């Protein structure tokens, strides 16, 4: 073949020239001549060589280079030129792939015939390789197309919420991948036990609409019952009905965790072209996508139903509900809460609370991190409305506030307090008169021992009633906030005065008192008389409810710009069921023994005073082991 490339490897330039100019070039071959192995190999690697002519002596007498070339470039024909004496070696090399050998004297015709044979062999090899490459490329292209189609369907399953659209794309892909004439996706209607056609390609609309296939005695039904795919060709006996006549067909089940939801099928009615077994696995992969899409749609529908129910409940309940995420963005404000805070913005979802609400107290509640939940407080709205709010933390959601309008109860409470205060006031004068006259009794004439004992009982009872009335009047005054006169004061002094005045009671009660009351604490803003009342009450209770030989610890400290005041005793403790109520008026715990007198008003007074000082109070207690009352009060701002 003219223009073919011949590589001539000869040690003597003269021999080379003779072959090149005398024989090969005149016959139309392109000839490259080299004299040593490295140059030869680099040429074969870098440019096309159709045939090699090698002189046997190049690269040594032992034929090493010849073996090397045959092993490294097995596709390039090699002709060896060498002395006749080595013919035995040449025969061995022929077995290793040598094309031919020539012995001097070289005859031009023999050389050309041999070279032509090499060139032809090279051409055949190249053409075979090209065909093979084309076949491989076509095969790979097909595989890539199939993978792309599967990938597209997979993406549409995750991206689209429209089930019909996804199922249609599954059927289209099944038809495309298998080269079928038509495709269908049948869904099992569990109530009727029939299969209906949910998606299809190349079926008539009317046929699709009316399609109903029982699962007994049908091919698709068998796939549903067994959960196994079916491949049908012209040779398979068609005992079972397909409801339409086909020549070849594949049906695979749509399965979710062993439950068969339906069947994906492709078929040929005209062509007899059989489907291949590998088509089953491809259609099965698509059926899996369809099953996932159906399951996703079912789960989504369930979630939507649950969400609508929840939304309906939250909208209808008579309590206000606000939900914000951990970043302070609004997730939900129900109807009642919208009315309470006068919101008519429908676009509030995921807006910051500061943008949605115009209520300082509420914004503060939702944005200033609280540590203990539930946190209860009252919010004041316009028109003297009072809302009882409960702040809660819900993991993975954020903060929720439920709100209840307590304006009516507040008003009721105010009227009741007013009534109690009026009645108490009116009772005080006659009681003072009774006490006065009882005291006079002994002065106006002799009384016997029995009469004296009765007089004393009357006096104790009247004093108890007077104390109760004083407490009630106190509470009324404190609640109304009329008598407040707050100044900057040292809480240490208040506590120490109180302890000083209770000294006799402490000695009488035979308890050990431990004090941790530092002098150099920051000042607070408060009413010293009322705060004395707080300390007196808590210490008085600790003394009353701690049996002889017990221990009381009083502690004051500063923590995070707050004063912490704690009274801790190892007395009778408070039963768990009573604990939430002990700050209510007239409430006494169930374990109080009868001979310990008390009105149940002390802690109600304490709590009201503490809250009037913007503080908080709570109790930790174990029945039979003791109690710890803790009060937190803010320190005065801007202190040096």
Residues at the site binding ligand ADP, with contacts judged by CB under 6 A: 537, 541-542, 545, 569, 571-574, 582, 587-589, 592, 598-604, 627
Strand partners, 391: 375, 401
The Cα 623–Cα 572 span in angstroms is 6
In the numeric block, the tokens 């965790």 are attached to 257
Closer CB to ligand ADP, 110 or 564, in the complex: 564
Q: Which H or E element spans position 65? A: helix 64-72
Residue 9 sits at φ, ψ, to 5 deg, of -115, 100
Closest CA to 44 of 53, 157, 273: 53
Q: 266: which 2 tokens? A: 């492709």
The Cα 492–Cα 518 span in angstroms is 7
Q: How far is the CB of 354 from ligand ADP (least distance, A)?
A: 40
Q: Find out whether the peptide bond into 105 is cis, omega within 30 degrees of 0.
A: yes
Alpha carbon 473 to its chain centroid, in Å, reads 56
The Cα 491–Cα 566 span in angstroms is 12
Q: 614: which 2 tokens? A: 């913007």
Distances (CA, A) of 415 to 378, 412, 475, 585, 604: 19, 5, 14, 15, 18
3-state helix, strand, coil in the chain (%, to 5): 50, 20, 30
Q: How far is the CB of 579 from ligand ADP (least distance, A)?
A: 9
Handedness of CA 422, 424, 427, 428 (dihedral sign): negative
Strand partners, 32: 7
Closest CA to 213 of 194, 238, 190: 194
Longest dimension (CA), the chain: 174
Residues 6+ apart with CB under 8 A from 231: 249, 250, 275, 277, 279, 280
Dump the DSSP string for 292-321: HHHHHHHHHHHHHHHHHHHHHHHHHSSSEE
Q: How far is the CB of 544 from ligand ADP (least distance, A)?
A: 6
How many beta carbons lie within 10 A of that of residue 552, not counting itself? 22
Q: Are the C-beta atoms of residues 542 and 526 closer than 8 Å to each other? A: no
Q: How far is the CB of 550 from ligand ADP (least distance, A)?
A: 10
Q: How far is the CB of 632 from ligand ADP (least distance, A)?
A: 18
Distances (CA, A) of 253 to 166, 188, 246, 281, 288: 17, 11, 19, 11, 9
Interhelix angle 37-46/64-72, nearest 10 degrees: 10
The Cα 503–Cα 519 span in angstroms is 20
Q: What is the SS3 assignment for 347?
A: coil
Residue 10 sits at φ, ψ, to 5 deg, of -130, 145
Any idea of the CA torsion for 240, 246, 250, 254, to the nearest 10 degrees? -70
Closer CB to ligand ADP, 402 or 541, in the complex: 541
Q: How far is the CB of 357 from ligand ADP (least distance, A)?
A: 37
Q: 540: which 2 tokens? A: 């008085």
Alpha carbon 344 to its chain centroid, in Å, reads 31
Q: Find out whether the peptide bond into 592 is cis, omega within 30 degrees of 0.
A: no
Burial pattern 127-143, b for ≥16 Cβ within 10 A else e, equals eeeeeeeeeeeeeeeee
Q: What is the SS3 assignment for 119?
A: helix
Q: Are the C-beta atoms of residues 263 and 186 closer than 8 Å to each other? A: yes
């Amino acid at each position: 073949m003219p223009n073919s490339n011949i590589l001539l490897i000869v040690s003597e330039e003269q021999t080379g020239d003779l072959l090149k100019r005398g024989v090969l070039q005149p016959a139309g071959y392109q000839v490259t001549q080299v004299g040593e192995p490295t140059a030869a190999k680099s040429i074969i690697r870098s440019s096309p060589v159709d045939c090699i002519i090698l002189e046997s002596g190049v690269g040594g007498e032992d034929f090493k280079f010849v073996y090397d070339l045959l092993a490294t470039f097995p596709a390039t024909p090699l002709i060896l030129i060498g002395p006749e004496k080595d013919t035995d070696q040449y025969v061995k090399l022929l077995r290793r792939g040598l094309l031919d050998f020539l012995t001097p004297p070289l005859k031009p015709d023999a050389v050309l015939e041999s070279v032509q044979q090499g060139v032809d062999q090279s051409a055949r090899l190249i053409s075979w390789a090209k065909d093979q490459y084309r076949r491989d490329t076509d095969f790979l292209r097909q595989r890539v197309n199939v993978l792309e189609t599967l990938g597209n369907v997979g993406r549409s399953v995750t991206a689209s919420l429209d089930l019909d659209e996804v199922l249609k794309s599954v059927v289209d892909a099944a038809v495309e991948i298998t080269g079928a004439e038509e495709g269908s996706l049948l869904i099992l209607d569990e109530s009727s036990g029939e299969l209906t056609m949910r998606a299809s390609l190349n079926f008539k609309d009317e046929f699709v609409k009316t399609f109903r296939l029982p699962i007994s005695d049908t091919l698709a039904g068998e796939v549903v019952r067994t959960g196994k795919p079916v491949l049908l060709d012209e040779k398979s006996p068609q005992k079972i009905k397909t409801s339409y006549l086909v020549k070849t067909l594949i049906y695979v089940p749509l399965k979710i965790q062993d439950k068969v939801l339906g069947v994906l099928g492709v078929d040929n009615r005209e062509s007899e072209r059989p489907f291949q077994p590998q088509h089953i696995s491809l259609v099965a992969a698509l059926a899996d996508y369809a099953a996932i899409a159906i399951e996703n749609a079912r789960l989504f529908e369930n979630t939507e139903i649950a969400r609508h129910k929840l939304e309906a409940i939250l909208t209808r309940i008579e309590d206000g509900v606000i939900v914000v995420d951990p970043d302070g963005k609004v997730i939900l404000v129900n109807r009642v809460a919208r009315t309470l805070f006068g919101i008519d913005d429908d676009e509030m979802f995921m807006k910051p609370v500061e943008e949605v609400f115009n209520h300082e107290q509420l914004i503060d509640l939702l944005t200033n991190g609280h540590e203990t939940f539930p946190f209860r407080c009252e919010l004041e709205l316009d028109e003297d409305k009072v809302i009882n709010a409960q702040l809660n933390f819900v993991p993975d959601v954020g903060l929720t506030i439920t709100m209840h309008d307590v304006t009516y109860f507040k008003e009721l409470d105010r009227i009741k307090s007013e009534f109690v205060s009026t009645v108490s006031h009116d009772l005080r004068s006659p009681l003072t008169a009774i006490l006065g006259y009882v005291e006079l009794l002994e002065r106006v004439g002799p009384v016997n021992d029995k009469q004296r004992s009765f007089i004393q009982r009357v006096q104790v009872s009247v004093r108890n009633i007077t104390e109760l009335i004083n407490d009630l009047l106190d509470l009324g005054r404190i609640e109304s906030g009329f008598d407040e006169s707050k100044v900057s004061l040292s809480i240490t002094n208040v506590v120490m005065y109180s302890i000083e005045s209770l000294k006799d009671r402490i000695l009488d009660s035979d308890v050990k008192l431990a004090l941790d009351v530092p002098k150099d604490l920051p000042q607070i803003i408060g009413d010293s008389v009322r705060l004395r009342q707080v300390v007196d009450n808590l210490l008085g209770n600790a003394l009353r409810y701690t049996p002889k030989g017990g221990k009381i610890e009083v502690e004051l400290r500063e923590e995070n710009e707050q004063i912490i005041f704690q009274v801790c005793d190892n007395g009778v403790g408070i039963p768990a069921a009573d604990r939430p109520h002990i700050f209510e008026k007239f409430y006494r715990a169930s374990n109080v023994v009868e001979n310990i007198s008390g009105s149940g008003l002390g802690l109600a007074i304490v709590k009201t005073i503490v809250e009037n000082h913007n503080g908080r109070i709570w109790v930790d207690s174990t029945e039979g082991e003791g109690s710890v009352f803790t009060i937190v009060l803010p320190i005065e701002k801007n202190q040096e």
